[in-house]
């Protein structure tokens, strides 16, 4: 198949499909972090190049439920009001999400974290399933939503119990999540957290390739 992996700089999903013999290209505004077929630029430049399958990871900064608290700010009187700048970014993120979802490609998977209510209303497309890395042999319970078009649901390949880390105050986190918290550079931390886990990438290539 001719496969496009949109908004991926890591090359993880791209290489999983390449190993299966597919003609695959990743695309991102950032350069690829491992050698391979990669277009550095806006994915909309290449959406209409006859792809059989697209797996897309649109930016989730303004859509994810974890950032919902930033949708509001306080006015000069201390009243809670909508942050219009933030809301504009949510609208731009939702529009890009839908542009990928509605692309003229037969089979599509859009991947994103659980979205906050405003983003869900703007996108108005229910996700097909939620997967977790620990269902694919990876040491994390991070929930990821998949929006699927003409693709079967992804089936678990190796269910494990992830390692945990307990802080001095008694809070319990996934060891993977806690270790990412130790990355002081916030941009680097976001990059690490955004990468597709190897086990999920391999399951995509095996089950959809």
For the CA atoms of 178, 181, 182, 183, what is the dihedral angle to 10 degrees?
140
Q: Give pLDDT, residue 72.
A: 81
User: What confidence tens digit (pLDDT) does each residue in 108-141 have?
Assistant: 999 999 999 999 999 999 999 999 999 999 999 9
DSSP state at residue 31: P
CA atoms within 13 A on the CB side of 172: 5
Strands, E, within 8-127: which ranges? 23-28, 38-40, 53-56, 72-74, 80-82, 107-112
CA distance 115 to 124: 11
Mean per-residue pLDDT, 81-106: 94
Q: Is the pLDDT of residue 61 over 90?
A: no
- Structure-model confidence comparison of residues 34 and 73, the more confident one: 34
Q: Is the pLDDT of residue 68 over 90?
A: no
Which residues, other chains included, contact 182 with Cβ-Cβ below 8 Å and sequence gap of 6+?
Answer: none
């Amino acid at each position: 198949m001719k496969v496009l992996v949109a908004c991926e700089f890591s090359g993880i999903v791209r290489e999983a499909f390449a190993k299966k013999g597919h003609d695959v290209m990743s695309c991102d505004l950032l350069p690829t972090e491992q050698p391979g077929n990669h277009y550095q630029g806006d994915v909309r430049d290449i959406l209409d190049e006859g792809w059989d399958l697209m797996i897309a990871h649109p930016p989730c900064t303004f859509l994810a439920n974890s950032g919902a608290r930033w949708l509001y700010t306080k006015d000069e009187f201390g009243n809670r009001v909508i942050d219009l700048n933030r809301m504009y970014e949510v609208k731009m993120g939702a529009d890009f999400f839908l542009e990928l979802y509605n692309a003229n490609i037969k089979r599509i998977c859009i991947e994103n974290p659980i979205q906050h209510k405003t983003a869900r209303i703007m996108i108005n497309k229910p996700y097909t399933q939620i997967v977790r890395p620990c269902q694919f042999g990876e040491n994390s319970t991070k929930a990821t939503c998949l929006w699927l078009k003409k693709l079967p649901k992804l089936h678990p390949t190796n269910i494990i119990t992830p390692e945990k880390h307990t802080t001095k105050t008694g809070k319990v986190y996934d060891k993977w999540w806690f270790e990412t918290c130790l990355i002081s550079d916030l941009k680097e931390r976001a990059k690490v957290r955004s990468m597709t886990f190897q086990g999920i990438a391999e399951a995509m290539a095996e089950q959809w390739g």
